[in-house]
Amino acid sequence: MEGKVKVHGELVSFSTPGELWSTDLTHEVEKIVKNSGITEGIVVVSVIGSTGAVGTIEFESGLQKDIATLMEELIPSKRHWRHNDTWGDANGHSHLRATLLGPSVTIPVSKGKPVLGTWQQIFFIEFDIRPRNRKVFVQVMGI
């Protein structure tokens, strides 16, 4: 890698209505990569919090519903979760779902843009059972 490595980060903030709401972050991430001036490197998109997750998907309504169905099958909301006994907040399944999907995604940056497939978008999904004010940190590193 030629030149001095630069690091640039920005927060993206938004409110959610609660469980299984999702949003496409691709355009925000593209703007942040452009603002960074970095043309070759990586971008890390990371949710701050333990009941939200980020990833990549074809962000369309059918898959949004499929994720909800899959999460309910894998980690049922009505099952007894010990976290609920500990805190009394009934969101044990929310933490587990977020852990399964993960808090961050790393994407290559080339020619000043995130390298994504035609039908691949960066998305956030809310797993908590109540509305939340969310922050996602986007950090670009490279030259």
> What CATH class is the domain 6-142?
mainly beta
- Residue 2 is predicted with a pLDDT of 65
pLDDT, tens digit, 9 for 90 and up, residues 85-132:
999 999 999 999 999 999 999 999 999 999 999 999 999 999 999 999
Q: Does position 18 have pLDDT exceeding 70, yes or no? A: yes
* Least-confidence region, from 35-39, 52-56, 83-87, 124-128: 83-87
Domain boundaries along the sequence of the chain: 6-142
- Residue 3 is predicted with a pLDDT of 77
**Cut 0.85: pTM above it:** yes
E strand residue ranges, the chain: 6-16, 22-24, 40-48, 52-57, 104-110, 113-114, 121-126, 132-142
